Amino acid sequence: MIASMEKLGRFCFDWLCLRPRSHSSSARRAWVFGLLAATCACNGGQLALAAQILTPASAPVAAPSSSVQVLHWWTSASERKAADLLVQRLADEHIEWQDAAIPGGAGIGAGKVLKGRVLAGDAPEVTQMIGVSIAEWAEMGLLLELDNVAAAGNWNSFLFPTVQSLIQHRRHVVAAPLGIHRVNTLYYNRALFAQLRLAPPQTWREFEAAVHKLRAARVQPLAQSSEAWQVAALFENLVLAESGPEFYRELFVRRSPAAAADPRSANALQRLRMIKGWMRGPVEERPWTDIVAQFARQPVGMLIMGDWAKPELAEHGAVLDRDYGCAAAPDTGKYHLYSVDALSMFAGDYRHMAAQEKMARLLVTPALQGDFNALKGGVPVRRDADPARMDSCARASWTTFAKGAAVQAPSLVHRMATDEATRDAIIAEVQRYFLDDRVTVAEAQRRIGALFKMFNLRNQGVPGAQDTDRRR
């Protein structure tokens, strides 16, 4: 049953390239009804399933509800604390949070569960949603529009422009932003670096020199997993370091086959394999929380991971600026490889709308933004946040992001750059290259370029892709 739902979910999103030209709500709902009807027909002709999802008006009018079920993937120890803060703040507003947490790094499992639940007519009232996924769901007319909330709260006056663009679809606000994560973050063991007289590496050359010193001291230079999304996250850091944000967008947002064949892509792939060769023994597939624990508990020199690792390190007793330091990944000090947390609301039968709108208003308030991101490791989405109240790592992230689109790069791994099908295919190819030393750099480039050609033919542009030059 689960496998069937996953297949239906993928089929559902493959239909996005056939979306209607009309932007009206009735046209979108008619199209989605046809989409889901065809999908359900492939699964035994259960057309009533589509009707159940998309025709709530035919059901009896239900009484307003002050509870919301929230589907999310904040399941690590530190993430759970951040989620619990939201639970408490909502309770203070007389809104009950019904938890639907789905384990799995980068939200891969949660995305599959969400598709299955929507197809089964059981969409949650609120769901964690990031990047292009927001536009994909909004295009089907299923998300609650928060225009009145955003206008009353004057969101445009304090949200970063990139965040504003991310949460809008066809000029409607369809998500409430929570925080910004910096994916290009380097952590280093202060005691080991002091012992070996190492400075935090700012360039690839300095990083390579630090690795050799750590290896000579019989210390694991870098904590790293072979899990697909973690390998790809390291790769996108290397691409950004090699090329800067403009080429990065050419590769991952515009999906240029020429960029895939470019020497800069080759250099990033070569460095990825070089890092694998520096490891002491095989690189095992482990969840990100295990990698953070390894860095905190064992003599490991460095870790490259998003700033969500910072509060998880605190769970192991590691203290920033005492036990470990935080810097930008080598050669990315001027850039911000970002992922933005957001919550979207499903419209459903609208009986939860008052609670959903109250929740959206609460999420962007200065107090909640500051407190939530202190627990989550990110930084506020507000331009008026006070960097003096942030730790050294968060302050560097926020001030860099505030410099604007020229220094920002949307994370491929965290759905900021492209659609889910392209993202998954690129991640699979990068992991294949990382695991199999027989795959050459040229072959990996050729395969990624072929993927781009295929996806560009199937879908000439995806609404919501975080090319910050777009104007929808």
Q: What is the DSSP string of 281-294?
A: S------HHHHHHH
Distances (CA, A) of 54 to 12, 28, 49, 291, 419: 14, 11, 9, 42, 24
Q: How far apart are CA 270 and CA 355, in angstroms?
A: 51
Q: Where are the alpha helices (DSSP H) in 298-391?
A: 309-315, 353-363, 366-376
Determine the angle formed by the axes of helices 228-243 and 420-435, rounding to 10 degrees. 90
Q: How far apart are CA 155 and CA 364, in angstroms?
A: 8
- 3-state secondary structure at position 64: coil
408, 224 contact by CB (below 8 A): no
Residue 104: pLDDT band (50, 70, 90) is confident
Specify the residue for token string 């050419």.
250
Residue 51: pLDDT band (50, 70, 90) is very low
Distances (CA, A) of 221 to 208, 214, 342, 352, 470: 10, 6, 34, 51, 40
Percent of the chain with pLDDT over 70: 83
Nearby residues of 371 by Cβ (< 8 Å), 6 or more positions away: 85
**Per mean pLDDT, which range of 49-53, 249-253, 355-359 is the poorest?**
49-53
Residue 454, amino acid = M
Strand duo 336-345 + 126-128: pairing: antiparallel
Q: What is the pTM of this model?
A: 0.85
Residue 431, amino acid = Q
Specify the residue for token string 């999802």.
53
Provide the pLDDT for residue 281.
82
Q: What are 237-247's pLDDT values in tens digits?
A: 999 999 999 99
- Please state, rounded to an integer, the average pLDDT across all residues of the chain: 87
Strand duo 336-345 + 176-182: pairing: antiparallel
Residue 325, judged by CB atoms within 10 A of its CB (0-12, 13-18, 19+), counts as: middle
Mean pLDDT over 187-216 rounds to 98
306, 233 contact by CB (below 8 A): yes
Nearby residues of 228 by Cβ (< 8 Å), 6 or more positions away: 427, 428, 430, 431
Mean pLDDT over 451-462 rounds to 76
Q: How far apart are CA 455 and CA 53, in angstroms?
A: 29
